[in-house]
Amino acid sequence: MKALLQYLFSGKPLSEEQAYIALKDIAMGNQNDVQVAAFLSVYNMRTPTTIELIGFRNAMLELAIPIKLKYKNTLDIVGTGGDGKNTFNISTTASFICAGAGAKVTKSGNYGFTSVSGASNMFEYLKIPFANTVKKVEDQLHESNISFLHAPLFHPAVKNVAHVRKDLQVKTIFNLLGPIVNSSQPKTVIIGVHSEFVGKLYREVLKTTDVNFMVVHAVDGYDEISLTGDTKFYARKNIQLHEPKSFGFKQIEPKDIIGGDSVEANAKILLNILKGKGTEAQNNVVLANAALAISLYDKIPYPEAIEKVKDSLYSGKALACLNALQNIQ
């Protein structure tokens, strides 16, 4: 590791094989905390190259506990975090709406490292047991159309470095890797990113896979469609720029989608939305994100997807999926 760190400190990027070997070595617990922190810090000062990220991703997926599901098309809506915007859990709320619209959602996530509440904090607070076997995931998908995959249960790499990440208290390459190493390997993925550079990076990595993807970046810094300004889409074939009105909603203010100061407060916002008690802005922002996911998942035009997700939310189907998931033992 000493030689590798010196190589990285000189400003040189790793080859795909070097990146693969380095992350695998860290994941297997072969390096001490100081060395791991030094390695992670390199990629906090610069973003990995496309080649490095492909190597890291390959190592993570190889070491992951595989989830081979009978459902051939599943969906994940996930963000990198680290945008500093302190929104409520938009992607998690949108995931339940997608489930209510008929999608099989295998959402991945972890505890919040750079935010008040990550997806794991939210599911845990809602008393939803983390799926830890293939059977559990399939049972949840059958009963509620949604299952949550807590990253440390399926990724030894995440588990081995969790305490180092927590102590660093800044985003690391694992924030980048998380959205692209879902061990169920969903065929449809919506990934939110907090910077244009990361959007382009993800696009190049995902173009080497068969995943049906859309990378999303709000130009004012949100890692999702925020409706507070224009949004960039990084698709397989092109890069697009969309105004809020192109999603069928008016532009909103950042204060309209601010989250709470605790997991409990953010859970209350999620529940209020699913119970039909959300504000217009809260409803619209989750509907915009859910509709994009459904349009990709079902391969239907966005206006048709909007109608499906509105029905999911306003008819109570999304809430029913949450209730069903809570009742699975």
Number of other residues whose CB lies within 10 A of the CB of residue 303: 10
pLDDT > 70? residue 115: no
62-to-87, 106, 181, 186, 202 alpha-carbon distances in Å? 33, 19, 10, 16, 19
pLDDT of residue 1: 86
Domains and CATH numbers, the chain: 2-63 (1.20.970.10), 75-327 (3.40.1030.10)
Share of the chain above pLDDT 70, in %: 98
pLDDT > 70? residue 114: no
pLDDT > 80? residue 83: no
pLDDT > 90? residue 219: yes
DSSP of 94-138: HHHHHHHTT--EEEEE---SSSS--HHHHHHHTT-PPP-SHHHHH
Number of other residues whose CB lies within 10 A of the CB of residue 212: 18
Higher-confidence residue of 162 and 36: namely: 36
pLDDT > 80? residue 280: yes
| Mean of pLDDT values over 77-88 | 82
pLDDT > 90? residue 163: no
The gap between the terminal CA atoms of the chain, to the nearest Å, is 44
pLDDT of residue 118: 85
Angle of helix 302-314 relative to helix 317-327, nearest 10 degrees, comes to 60
- Residue 305: which pLDDT band, with cuts at 50, 70 and 90? very high
Number of other residues whose CB lies within 10 A of the CB of residue 167: 9
- State the Cα–Cα distance between residues 20 and 131, nearest whole angstrom: 28
pLDDT of residue 113: 61
Report residue 66 CA to chain centroid gap.
18
Task: Tell which residue, 199, 285, 298, has the closest CA to residue 239.
Answer: 199
- State the Cα–Cα distance between residues 200 and 198, nearest whole angstrom: 5
DSSP state of 33: H
Share of the chain above pLDDT 90, in %: 77
- Residue 44: which pLDDT band, with cuts at 50, 70 and 90? confident
pLDDT > 80? residue 283: yes
Number of H helices, E strands in the chain: 15, 7
pTM of the model: 0.92
25 touches 144 (CB < 8 A): no
pLDDT of residue 132: 87
pLDDT of residue 37: 93
pLDDT of residue 80: 80
pLDDT of residue 85: 84
Mean pLDDT of the chain: 93
- Reduce the DSSP state of residue 35 to 3 states and report it: helix
pLDDT of residue 247: 96
114-to-81, 85, 199, 232, 240 alpha-carbon distances in Å? 7, 10, 19, 23, 28
pLDDT, one tens digit per residue, over 226-277 is: 999 999 999 999 999 999 999 999 999 999 999 988 999 999 999 999 999 9
259 touches 269 (CB < 8 A): yes
Residue tagged 């119970």 (tokens) = 275
- State the Cα–Cα distance between residues 239 and 193, nearest whole angstrom: 14
Higher-confidence residue of 145 and 178: namely: 145
pLDDT > 80? residue 188: yes
- State the Cα–Cα distance between residues 176 and 198, nearest whole angstrom: 8
- State the Cα–Cα distance between residues 113 and 81, nearest whole angstrom: 9
- Residue 306: which pLDDT band, with cuts at 50, 70 and 90? very high
Task: Tell which residue, 123, 147, 150, 124, has the closest CA to residue 136.
Answer: 147
pLDDT > 80? residue 150: yes
pLDDT > 80? residue 196: yes
pLDDT of residue 110: 83
DSSP state of 258: B
- What region, left, alpha or beta, does residue 300 occupy, with left being phi > 0 and alpha being psi -120 to 50 degrees? beta
